[in-house]
Amino acid sequence: MAGPAPTEGPELVPQDGVGEPDALQRLWTPHRMAYIRGEGKPDGQDSDGCPFCGLVRLDDAEALIIARGSTVYAVLNLYPYNPGHLMVVPYRHVADYTDLTAAETDELARFTQQAMRVARKVASPHGFNIGMNQGVVAGAGIAAHLHQHLVPRWGGDANFMPVIGHTKVLPQLLAETRTLLASAWAD
């Protein structure tokens, strides 16, 4: 015979959907928690602590910078969706696309075109996703400093690994990708 119903303990925690097996493998990356919390992200007009403003003071290889222009530079994304995922970033700490100067807008467009040419030469992608997220609610990870993403795409790049294996395959280290793209950019 069952005793009285418990008044506390794990039995009272609703179990529907909590801890249900989902067959996903987990790769714990505690260092990402600082990013999730927004630590070190610029939140306004001040460029202090802005990673995009800080990158330009580093060596290109160390910063994963592919090419530098007069008003913008191209840099690999530290958390790429696909191999060759890069960003075109203005040197000036500016959040809104409509606040770019004509020279910045022009060079951002020309760098994006060159990035496409270089990616085609180096990796032969079948297509690209190109764009920018304006504002935190639009998905910008660093909303205070505008940056345009260029993500090379291949047929089947969303194959069984992420869908069934729940694993993203990046076949090349970022430093190697940077070297290939920077060399091809100079050609």
- Asked if residue 166 belongs to a known ligand binding site, the reply is no
Q: What is the rounded distance in angstroms from the CA atom of residue 92 to the CA atom of residue 108?
A: 12
Q: Helices 102-123 and 174-186: crossing angle, nearest 10°?
A: 110
CA distance 150 to 22: 32
| DSSP at 183 | H
Residue 152's DSSP bridge partners are 128
- Active-site residue, from 93, 126, 145, 147: 147
The reply to whether 129 sits in an annotated binding site is no
Catalytic, 31? Answer no
Handedness of CA 27, 30, 34, 38 (dihedral sign): positive
Burial 86-121 (b: 16+ CB within 10 A, else e): bbbbbbbbbbeeeebeeebeebbeebbebbbebbee
Annotated binding residues for substrate: 77, 149
Residues belonging to the active site: 147
Annotated binding residues: 77, 149
